[in-house]
């Protein structure tokens, strides 16, 4: 496996001394200067979009959190971080999947706007199943890039733990093709189990080969303040874990939980600048879809929307795969993490598990994933996940990730998936 330029740049940044030189986008640059400026080209004349701040509510599995309260908490934190007053916010887009199903509460965006003191603001709830947060982020990106708005809040919020397991499972299954899958008893555990079985058979590997994805996620969650599963997991734990639906075990799947996260997007570069002079720009957004029913896809192991959405996001950012330092993928299941790596072009087909086993996905690897625990161990409050990813990458690129820092990272990609790859939202963040 070839080492990518993004990883080389990260290692160089770690080791560089004052006055040293390295290559950034092929240009010799002083190490000190390279830590501040990344020159990119854009495929359009759209207005730049910056991340001014974020707010993160710790993910929880303790029933009792209210959706409006969590949303307000995340919004308040984002506003405090930006220094903006509420009347400077032009719009708010809210990612949510299950509130109407589990709580009989549709229309959560005005509910939360009122709770947060933003009554009267333009606000819309965006639903793309588990990809709702990423879809809301794309709406925010488009609102700023188009020139329609100056400052936009993007919120992802989900409440799941107040409902029983069967209700949650059935609710999540509505992200499938109901007539062909959900109504016939398929769940996302069984659908991912089919993909995992197909992969194991095609490439001749055992289930334990997927362990590095789970172990990496749990290791990173141990030092993440907002992650919910803080448990050190060994290979033996993975091998002996309880089977949920063959071959998927509890160590392959993400947990049911509650949470909310927000990012504040702005057209103002000055507003986005932190005390150290760092600026995080949301440089590109991409979205794509695939056939909803997994059984109807000609090649189920090729997640075409993963590839297509990444291509669009990279094109808009003026970058390529070699520039990516972090790939915050959608690891709802270990098989999905593997397929995302391969479908995105970071590992050849059939080599995703080997890529992980070689240590490449760790915080010190050439392509860190699940840097705060990912969906597997940070937790997967489904409609909020895509915004958690964005907030976490703001921490990474502002070098505020503490023990979870991927050192030298300057380009981060987030990818949020609805269903089993039927809708995918990809975003590229750059430290400038």
DSSP letters of 304-330? HHHHHHHHHHHHHHT--GGG-SEEE--
What percent of the chain is modeled with pLDDT above 70?
Answer: 90
Q: How far apart are CA 375 and CA 391, in angstroms?
A: 14
What is the pLDDT confidence band of residue 64, given thresholds at 50, 70 and 90?
confident
Per-residue pLDDT, 9 = 46
What is the pLDDT confidence band of residue 63, given thresholds at 50, 70 and 90?
confident
Can you say whether the dihedral through the CA atoms of 301, 428, 61, 373 is positive or negative?
Answer: positive
Per-residue pLDDT, 65 = 86
For the cut 90, the answer to whether the pLDDT of residue 386 exceeds it is yes
For the cut 50, the answer to whether the pLDDT of residue 83 exceeds it is yes
Per-residue pLDDT, 420 = 98
Of the listed ranges 18-27, 272-281, 308-317, 390-399, the least confidently predicted one is: 18-27
What b/e sequence results for 363-398 when a residue is b if at least 16 CB atoms lie within 10 Å of its CB, and e otherwise? bebbbbbbbbbbbbbbbbbbbbbbbbbbbbbbbbbb
Residue 392 near residue 217 (C-beta atoms within 8 A)? no
Per-residue pLDDT, 303 = 98
Residue pLDDT, tens place only, 117-131: 999 999 999 999 999
Of the listed ranges 30-39, 193-202, 357-366, the least confidently predicted one is: 30-39
Q: How far apart are CA 356 and CA 340, in angstroms?
A: 12
Residues tagged active-site: 130, 380
Per-residue pLDDT, 8 = 52
Cis peptide, bond prior to residue 123, ω within 30 of zero = no
Closest of 426, 151, 128, 390 to residue 284, by C-alpha? 426
For the cut 90, the answer to whether the pLDDT of residue 373 exceeds it is yes
For the cut 50, the answer to whether the pLDDT of residue 151 exceeds it is yes
Per-residue pLDDT, 338 = 98
In sequence order, the 6+-apart residues with CB closer than 8 A to the CB of 327 are 340, 341, 344, 346, 367, 368, 369, 412, 413, 415
Residue 309 near residue 425 (C-beta atoms within 8 A)? yes
Mean of the per-residue pLDDT values of the chain: 92
Q: How far apart are CA 49 and CA 146, in angstroms?
A: 10
Mean pLDDT of 301-308: 98
User: Token digits for 52?
Assistant: 């001014």
Per-residue pLDDT, 40 = 56
For the cut 50, the answer to whether the pLDDT of residue 104 exceeds it is yes
For the cut 70, the answer to whether the pLDDT of residue 357 exceeds it is yes
If one counts every other C-beta atom within 10 angstroms of the C-beta of residue 287, the result is: 20
Residue pLDDT, tens place only, 160-169: 999 999 999 9
Mean pLDDT of 43-66: 90
Q: How far apart are CA 93 and CA 152, in angstroms?
A: 8
- Top pLDDT among 87 and 2 is at 87
Residue pLDDT, tens place only, 12-51: 433 432 333 322 223 233 333 333 334 454 445 799 999 9
What is the pLDDT confidence band of residue 266, given thresholds at 50, 70 and 90?
very high
DSSP helix/strand/coil, 426: strand
Mean pLDDT of 133-155: 98
What is the pLDDT confidence band of residue 399, given thresholds at 50, 70 and 90?
very high
Q: How far apart are CA 18 and CA 160, in angstroms?
A: 50
DSSP helix/strand/coil, 407: coil
């Amino acid at each position: 496996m070839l080492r990518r330029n993004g990883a080389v740049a990260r290692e160089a940044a770690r080791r560089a001394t004052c006055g040293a030189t390295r290559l950034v986008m092929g240009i010799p640059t002083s190490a000190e200067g390279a830590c501040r400026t990344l020159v990119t080209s854009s495929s359009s004349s759209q207005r730049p979009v910056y991340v001014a701040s974020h707010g993160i509510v710790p993910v929880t599995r303790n029933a009792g959190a209210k959706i409006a309260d969590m949303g307000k908490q995340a919004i308040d934190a984002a506003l405090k971080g930006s220094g903006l007053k509420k009347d400077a916010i032009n719009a708010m887009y809210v990612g949510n999947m299950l509130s109407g199903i589990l709580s009989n509460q549709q229309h959560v965006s005005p509910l939360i706007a009122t709770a947060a003191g933003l009554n009267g603001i333009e606000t819309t709830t965006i639903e793309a199943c588990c990809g709702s947060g990423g879809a809301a982020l794309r709406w925010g990106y488009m609102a700023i890039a188009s020139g329609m708005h100056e400052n936009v809040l993007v919120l992802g919020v989900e409440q799941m733990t107040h409902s029983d397991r069967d209700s949650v499972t059935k609710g999540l299954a509505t992200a499938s093709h109901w007539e062909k899958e959900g109504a016939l008893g398929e769940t996302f555990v069984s659908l991912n189990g089919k993909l995992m079985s197909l992969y194991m058979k095609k490439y001749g590997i055992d289930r334990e080969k997927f362990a590095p994805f789970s172990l990496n996620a749990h290791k990173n969650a141990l030092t993440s303040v907002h992650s919910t599963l803080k448990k050190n997991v060994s290979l033996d734990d993975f091998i002996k874990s309880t089977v949920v639906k063959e071959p998927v075990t509890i160590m392959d799947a993400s947990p049911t939980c509650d949470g909310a996260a927000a990012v504040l997007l702005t057209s103002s570069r000055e507003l986005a600048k932190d005390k150290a002079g760092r600026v995080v720009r949301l440089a590109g957004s991409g979205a794509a879809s695939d056939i909803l029913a997994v059984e109807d896809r000609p090649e189920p192991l090729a997640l075409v929307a993963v590839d297509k959405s990444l291509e669009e996001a990279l094109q808009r950012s003026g970058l390529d795969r070699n520039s990516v330092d972090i790939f915050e993928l959608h690891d709802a299941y270990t098989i999905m993490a593997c397929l995302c790596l391969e479908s995105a072009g970071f590992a050849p087909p059939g080599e995703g598990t080997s890529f992980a086993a070689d240590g490449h996905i760790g915080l010190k690897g050439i392509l860190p994933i699940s840097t705060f625990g990912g969906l597997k161990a940070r937790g997967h409050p489904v409609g909020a996940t895509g915004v958690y990813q964005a907030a976490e990458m703001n921490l990474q690129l502002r070098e505020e990730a503490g023990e979870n820092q991927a050192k030298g990272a300057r380009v981060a990609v987030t990818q949020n998936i609805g269903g089993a790859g039927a809708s995918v939202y990809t975003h590229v963040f750059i430290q400038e």
